[in-house]
Amino acid sequence: MNSQDFAFLVDMLKKRSGHVLAADKGYLLDSRLGPIARKENFASVDALVAAMRTRNDERLNAMATEAMTTNETFFFRDRTPFDLFKTEVIPYMAKNRRPGTKMKIWCAAASTGQEPYSLAMILREEASRLNGITSSILATDISDKVLQKAKAGLYSQFEVQRGLPVQLMVKYFEKSDDLWRIDPGLQQHITFRKYNLLDNFRALGQFDVVFCRNVLIYFDQETKSDILDRMAQCIAPDGFLFLGAAETVMGLSDAFAPVPGKRGLYVRKEKTATARVA
């Protein structure tokens, strides 16, 4: 691919999604864009990107953006944040929210749905500890394709075996031909919605908990800071933010403070972390 076409692709992805395509990630082009090139009858990925640059075809640009921003996920990925949600966040909410109120959770970059479904399972398992507090989960992603799969709630044998404890698989999934279908009772508490993290968050409302894991790593420093600062405005003053293991707010935003000893867990800086979580 010539330098002009690669520069066009980098610029397009940055403007449309905020994702930064580094030069050393060029190997992703064949695996991510190859299927589009074949489907659209282009001789190669180079030919596809050249056409995108010269035609300014919105349909091709959207397809390429979606393909390049689709990321891997699995049930209870990295385990620690889900353990902290269970042992730290749920007890805090049970103590500091009135019975009958709703705990609002946002899963940003929810991909094919394993993260919000994992949280829904924890909430079902821990319902007796919530003292009458109900919950809702907003799961967003920039990709229509992954959201369609998430809404369907159908997963392969490989997907349900990856990270999902056997007892939860048996309890919350049923066999459907060669796939496994999630319990519809879990789905009814989750709203899946297409959303770009570059957009204004105000329309989403306020949340008690935000999971924004393993997505900031794809943005440049300026975009990371902007997202974190805007995210702080839509998290309750005593709310929680979860980031991925390789992500941090340090040097990016003054709006959050890490919770000591709780990897990936952050609170609004108006409240000290030590006062919030024991």
Interval 71-77 mean pLDDT = 87
Looking at the structure, tell me whether residues 225 and 269 fall in a common domain.
yes
Interval 173-190 mean pLDDT = 93
* Distance of alpha carbon 67 from alpha carbon 145, whole angstroms: 9
- Picking from 68, 95, 123, the residue at the C-terminal end of a domain is 68
Segment of 48-52, 84-88, 159-163 carrying the highest mean pLDDT: 84-88
- Picking from 68, 94, 116, the residue at the C-terminal end of a domain is 68
CATH number, domain at 9? 1.10.155
Q: Where are the alpha helices (DSSP H) in the chain?
A: 3-17, 28-39, 45-55, 58-68, 80-84, 90-96, 114-125, 144-152, 157-161, 166-172, 184-187, 221-233, 273-276
Looking at the structure, tell me whether residues 142 and 173 fall in a common domain.
yes
How confident is the model over 143-156, as pLDDT tens digits? 998 999 999 999 99
Looking at the structure, tell me whether residues 55 and 87 fall in a common domain.
no
* Distance of alpha carbon 145 from alpha carbon 194, whole angstroms: 10
Check whether 158 has a pLDDT greater than 80: yes
Looking at the structure, tell me whether residues 54 and 147 fall in a common domain.
no
Check whether 219 has a pLDDT greater than 70: yes
Does the reported pTM lie above 0.75?
yes
Interval 66-77 mean pLDDT = 85
Domains in the chain: how many in total? 2
Looking at the structure, tell me whether residues 64 and 123 fall in a common domain.
no
Looking at the structure, tell me whether residues 212 and 269 fall in a common domain.
yes
Confidence band of 276 (pLDDT split at 50, 70, 90): low
Residue 118 CA: distances (Å) to CA of 36, 54, 178, 239, 241: 31, 43, 21, 20, 17
Looking at the structure, tell me whether residues 8 and 39 fall in a common domain.
yes
Looking at the structure, tell me whether residues 39 and 97 fall in a common domain.
no
| DSSP reduced 3-state for 274 | helix
- Picking from 68, 96, 122, the residue at the C-terminal end of a domain is 68
Residue 48 CA: distances (Å) to CA of 5, 177, 242: 10, 37, 37
* Distance of alpha carbon 63 from alpha carbon 42, whole angstroms: 14
Both structure tokens of 24: 């050393």
Q: Which amino acid is at 152?
A: A
pLDDT at site 277: 55
Q: Let me know if residue 148 belongs to a domain.
A: yes
Boundaries of domain holding 44: 3-68
Both structure tokens of 123: 């909430």
